[in-house]
A and B are shown apart, each in its own frame.
Chain A
Amino acid sequence: MLTGLCLTSCSEDTSTYAVGDDWINSNTKVIFLDTLSVTSSSFQFDSIPVSATNRLLIGAYRDVEFGLVKSKVFTQLSNLVYSLDSEATYDSIAVILKYDGYVYNDTLQQQQFRVYEVLEEIKPEEDYYYNTTSFKSADNDIGTKTFTPHPVQEDSLHIRLNDGFGQELFNQIQKKKISNSNEFLQEYRGLLIEADDSNTAILGFSSESLVRIYYTIGDETDDIKETLDLGFSITNSFHNITSNFSNTWFEAIENQMTYLPSTTTGNQTYIQAGAGIATRIDLPHLESLNNINGTGTIMEANLKVSLKKSLSKKVLTTRDSLQFYIINQRSEIISELFNYDGITPMGFITQKEDEFNIITYTVPLKYYLDTKAADYDGDNWFLVMYSQDFNSSLDRYIFYGEENSNAYKMKLELTYALYDE
């Protein structure tokens, strides 16, 4: 009996009570801070890699804030089969650009594209094509097209090329002077398709675009229409994006270490994908948290960035999320921004005030701040805020800087717990 008692006499605590909670002397104090300094600026990456993007951008438009931006495409053509029936006769040749649905700015105006022969071998510099990579092309075009784009109603854009160019290519294949890719690329390095400066839109095309030769095979009874396609090379096609920043804030840019503080650019910061313009965010003086009495820890940290929509016309669409990277003081990307769960956090829209045309993005920065504080070089870490599809779109964003007086200024919101006062 005694041993039984010994064994069963362990303590049991079943219920919990609220009685006495006035007395609880919690060791913790939780504070919310949104006054920590944030310093933002705009800068331009010297170059961004554009290899093997699914989308090829062609077009140009003049933007009040960003100046003239142009995108042209260099493409190598290729095919597996180079043979034509000896009875075939050449009809015509065209570039067929397949719309992928992406448009930016005004597509109601007339646009003009021109096609040139490339005179150099199209090959990457150090394994990558950059938005700045360029190759020499012929002075005279082999085709132009003036058109009003209908990227929704139509699935492709046909640019008829010079028949002299087409006949020559046709003959070489038919007479077996070109019977494989190597022989073809010796003669035909590739094409450059560019837009006129007066264009008003950027159009996105699929990398499945091609050049098509139309020909006829005469038969005793009927003529048979045939085609030979030369596809755009997926690996050796890319867009080159250039800007003319005259009379914009960006005129001052010399290289990617030229930072334009938001306070000197109208309390705004900028993003223009494709062109490499991004917003850099510095969160200095986080050590000031240590000046709060007691030992504490960051429970939650969120950066809030509001889009200045009054400056973003409807045709200049924005997305529902933003991308973030960590860069060093030379604007070199150190890594993607990570979260504790290993997922790359994006800045998602958390607030939308249609009445005031305000969109606010929030990005969680707890992991960034923890690792920045722990890294020996963390003082030289900065966040870069960038658009989605940064190498295959020309989306632009204008944000409220940190010095705005309204509620939409860029700010860091911290929930900080002090546990040892």
Chain B
Amino acid sequence: MNKYLIIFLFCLFAVNRSFSQSNSLSSSPYSLYGLGLSNELNTGKTNALGRTGIAIPSTTDINNLNPASYGSIPLNRFFYDIGLQYEINEMEDKGGAESKTNGNFSNLAFALPLNKKSGIGLSLVPYTNIGYSISQFESTIEGSADTYYTSINGSGGLSDLKLNYGYSLMDNLRLGVSASVLFGKVTENETNIINNNVLQLREDNHYSGFRLGLGMQYDLSENLSIGSIITLPTTLDGEQYQDIFQYYNGTLTKSSREENNISSFSLPSEIGFGFNAKLWKELSISADYRREFWSGTNQTDGIGTYIDNNFLGLGVEFNPGGNPLNYANHIQYRAGFNYDSGNLSVSGNPVNSNTLSLGIGLPVKTGTNSMFNLMYSYGTKGQVSDGLIKEKYHLLSLNISLEDIWFVKSKFD
């Protein structure tokens, strides 16, 4: 076995633990709606490329954005990817401003070729994140002049355990299929302080579902590829456990658990197109467009309504090249931009976001594709008017993208 595999397995265990606990990958009040904020981070280098990658193959690392890319994994290679993230959120509404940070795993993935023409991979990526906490807001006791205080915090999120399979139909045409198991828990804790008494509600909403995706990548030439994806709509079934605790002058007087039926949550279909072009030997660019048909799910939320969202991303990568013995020549430089029109509309205002990202890929050593992919992105979301919140976020991510070479005997063994 290989040391990378041991590390990977250890991390898988750790991630599983942290996923199953209250994994706050988000600290955004926007995670209040639906099942939380969609996770934008993924494997490999795509984070820094404006989150584009529909047309990018998986020849040196795992590109999880299109299952068709798995058809391009070279023989005898084994890829791992461990992602970590750290986020600083600055929020502002008409009432004031605040800042919050959090850090966690952002993904785990591995992939391997099955034969010359096909590859397979498994990834565990957060699908949505929930992290909000609102303290001591005051409400009136109906029928009196007295008030009570409520604190609410939400945590949890859904994970996407995805099996990807890619197949090279022709040398320049790859097809892929992915099967996702989406699962997770959305927890909301609510504490009401009513005079000397406390009513505590804890809701655990468990969701699970299955989702299929299809992908295609086509190399028009050696330097230009296009790709597309389709993700099928699905429904996540939910079940809720509600715990109720009541304290009267400090004494626990009620403790009960109820199992409630909650409505299932619909995920819309999604389509996406992208291209990846090598302009020069050193410079390549990529662009993706995706659209999620949220309005078709006919779902509403307390905050706003769901609308179709458009996603546009652009990415540039620069490889200096030159003398391969010089480490610096292996460093990759990336930059990207993306725009997300948002799937939520609050009183007619869509909550869109813009993100600028910069990244650097540092090879573990020369002569390998194993790389530390560092990324910094700065984004804004919402606005400080019409009841919206303006959120600025600084996101740092590190993807440890490792390559092993298997089944090849070392000549010097």
Residues 13-51 of chain A: 1 if any B CB is under 8 Å from the residue's CB, otherwise 0?
A: 111111111111111111111100000000000000000
Inside 8 A of B398's CB, which chain A residues have their CB? 5
Measured CB to CB, the closest approach of chain B to A29, in angstroms, equals 7
Distance from B44 Cβ to chain A, minimum over Cβ atoms (Å) = 17
Cβ contact of B302, chosen from A5, A16, A21, A25, cutoff 8 A: A25
Is B222 on the interface with A (CB-CB < 8 A)? Answer: no
Bound complex: CA A9 to CA B25 (Å)? 11
A2-B7, A6-B11, A24-B32 known; A15 vs B99 contact (CB < 8 Å): yes
Task: Indicate if the CB atoms of A16 and B133 lie closer than 8 Å.
Answer: yes
Q: A127 interface residue, CB < 8 Å from B? A: no
State whether B104 touches A13 (Cβ < 8 A).
no
Give the CA-CA distance A22 to B146 in the complex, in Å: 20
A17 touches B246 (CB 8 A): no
B199 x A28 contact (CB < 8 A): yes
Q: Please choose the segment from A142-150, A177-185, A243-251, A412-420 that sits at the chain B interface, where 4 or more of its residues have CB less than 8 A away.
A: A412-420
A64 at interface, CB cutoff 8 A: no
- Candidate in A33, A299, A420 with the most chain B CB atoms within 10 angstroms: A299
CA distance A381 to B142 in the complex (A): 29
Q: Which residues of A contact B249 (CB under 8 A)?
A: 340-341
**Of residues 128 to 155 in B, which have CB atoms within 8 Å of A's CB atoms?**
131-135, 137, 139, 141-144, 146, 148, 150-153
> How many contacting A-B pairs (Cβ < 8 A)?
164
Q: Which of A6, A10, A30 contacts B148 (CB 8 A)?
A: A30
Given A19-B92, A20-B93, A300-B194: A13 touches B139 (CB 8 Å cut-off):
no
B257 CB-CB contact with A under 8 Å: no
Closest-by-CB residue of B relative to A9 is B84
Distance A285 CA – B242 CA, assembled complex (angstroms): 28
CB distance A16 to B82 under 8 Å?
A: no
Contacts of A17 in B (CB 8 A): 29, 91, 98, 100, 133-134
Cβ–Cβ < 8 Å partners of B32 in chain A: 20, 23-25
0/1 string, A252-295, CB within 8 A of B gives 1: 00000000000000000000000000000000000000000000
Q: Is A186 an interface residue (CB 8 A)?
A: no
Question: Is B360 an interface residue, CB under 8 A from the partner?
Answer: no
> With A and B bound together, what is the CA distance between A34 and B146 in angstroms?
14
Query: Min CB distance, B127 to chain A, in Å?
Result: 16
Chain A: CB-nearest residue to B248 = A340
Instruction: Enumerate chain A residues within 8 angstroms of B23, measured Cβ to Cβ.
Output: 11
Task: Give bound CA distance, A18 to B98, whole Å.
Answer: 8
| Alpha-carbon distance A11/B105, docked complex (angstroms) | 9
Q: Which residues of B in the span 186-204 have a Cβ within 8 Å of any Cβ on A? A: 190, 192, 194-197, 199, 201, 203
Contact B142 A28 (CB under 8 A): no
Chain A stretch 313-371: residues in CB contact (< 8 A) with chain B: 340-341, 366-367, 370
Judge whether B143 and A20 touch: CB under 8 Å: no
> What residues on A are CB-neighbors of B144 within 8 Å?
32
Report yes or no: B105 in contact with A9, Cβ–Cβ below 8 A: yes
**Distance in angstroms between the alpha carbons of A13 and B155 in the assembled complex:** 10
Among residues of B, the one whose C-beta sits closest to the C-beta of A13 is B24
B377-413 residues with Cβ-Cβ distance < 8 A to A are: 387, 389, 398, 400
Cα separation A2 to B137 with both chains bound (whole Å): 42
Report whether A20 and B132 are in contact in the complex, using a CB–CB cutoff of 8 Å.
yes
| Given A17-B29, A30-B141; A9-B103 close (CB under 8 Å) | yes
Contact in complex: A299, B92 (CB < 8 Å): no
Q: Contact: B195 with A3, CB < 8 Å?
A: no
Taking A12-B101, A16-B135 as contacts, is the C-beta distance between A2 and B400 under 8 angstroms?
A: yes
- With contacts A3-B7, A9-B105, A23-B302 taken as known, whether A30 is within 8 angstroms of B192 at the C-beta atoms is yes
Q: Do the beta carbons of B82 and A18 come within 8 Å of each other?
A: no
Asked if A80 is at the interface (CB within 8 A of a chain B CB), the reply is no
Please name the residue on chain B nearest to A34 by beta carbon. B143
Most buried by B among A3, A18, A30, A33: A30
Given contacts A20-B91, A25-B32, contact A13 B199 (CB under 8 A): no
Contact B197 A13 (CB under 8 A): no
Bound-state CA distance A29–B144 (Å) is: 13
B18 at the interface (CB under 8 A from A): yes
Find chain B residues with CB under 8 A from A419 CB. Answer: 199, 201, 244
Q: How large is the interface on B (under 10, 10 to 19, 20 to 34, 35 or more residues)?
A: 35 or more
Q: How far is the CB of A365 from chain B (nearest CB, A)?
A: 11
Contact of B201 among A13, A28, A340, A367 (CB under 8 A): A28
Complex: A47 Cα to B130 Cα, angstroms: 66
Cα A32 to Cα B140 with chains together (Å): 10
Residue A312 interfacial (CB < 8 Å): no
Residue A109, interface by CB 8 Å: no
Query: B24-35 CB contact bits vs A (8 Å, 1 = yes)?
Result: 110101001100
Contact B142 A29, beta carbon cutoff 8 Å = yes
Using Cβ atoms and an 8 Å threshold, which residues of chain B touch A20? 29, 32, 91, 93, 132, 134, 389
Asked whether B95 is an interface residue with its Cβ less than 8 Å from the other chain, the reply is yes
What residues of B have a CB within 8 angstroms of the CB of A9 in the complex?
Answer: 18, 84, 103-105
Hey, which chain B residues are within 8 Å of A300, CB to CB? 194-197, 248
Given known contacts A5-B84, A366-B248, A13 and B102 CB-to-CB distance under 8 angstroms = yes
Contacts of B132 in A (CB 8 A): 20
- The answer to whether B24 touches A11 (Cβ under 8 A) is yes
On chain B, the residues within 8 Å of A32 by CB distance are 141-144, 146
- The answer to the question of B303 belonging to the interface, with a C-beta cut-off of 8 Å to chain A, is yes
Give the residue name and chain of the B residue nearest to A15 (CB). Answer: B100
Contact B150 A28 (CB under 8 A): yes
Point out the residues of chain A lying under 8 angstroms from B11, CB to CB.
Answer: 2, 6
Q: Which residue of B lies closest to A33 (CB)?
A: B143
Tell me whether B103 and A12 are in contact (CB under 8 A): yes
Other-chain residue from A13, A23, A30, A341 in contact with B194 (beta carbon distance below 8 A): A30
Contact of B253 among A24, A31, A366, A417 (CB under 8 A): A366
Of chain B, the residue at the smallest CB distance from A29 is: B142
- Once the chains bind, are A7 and B14 in contact (CB under 8 Å)? yes
The CA-CA distance from A30 to B98 in the complex, in Å, is 29
Q: Determine which of A6, A299, A367 lies in contact with B197 in the assembled complex, contact meaning CB atoms within 8 Å.
A: A299
The yes or no answer to A297 lying at the interface (CB within 8 A) is yes
Residue of A nearest to B17 (CB): A10
CA distance A30 to B23 in the complex (A): 31
Contact B141 A31, beta carbon cutoff 8 Å: yes
Chain A residue numbers with a CB within 8 Å of B139 are: 26, 30
- Is B251's CB within 8 Å of the partner chain A? yes
- Of all chain A residues, which has the CB nearest B151? A16
Q: Which residues of A contact B101 (CB under 8 A)?
A: 12, 14
Chain A nearest Cβ from B237, distance in angstroms:
20
- Judged by a CB distance under 8 angstroms, whether B254 is at the interface is yes
For A35, the closest partner residue in chain B by CB is B143
Contact bitstring B77-107, A, C-beta under 8 A = 1, else 0:
0000010100000011101111111111100
List the 4 closest A-B pairs by CB distance, nearest first. A20-B29, A17-B98, A32-B144, A25-B302
9 extra interface residue pairs, beta carbon distance < 8 Å, beyond A24-B134, A32-B143: A2-B82, A20-B389, A25-B32, A26-B152, A32-B146, A33-B143, A299-B197, A366-B248, A419-B244
Q: List 21 A-B contacts (CB under 8 A).
A: A11-B22, A11-B24, A11-B104, A12-B101, A14-B101, A17-B29, A18-B95, A19-B91, A19-B93, A22-B93, A24-B32, A24-B150, A26-B192, A27-B201, A28-B190, A28-B199, A32-B143, A297-B254, A300-B248, A340-B248, A366-B253
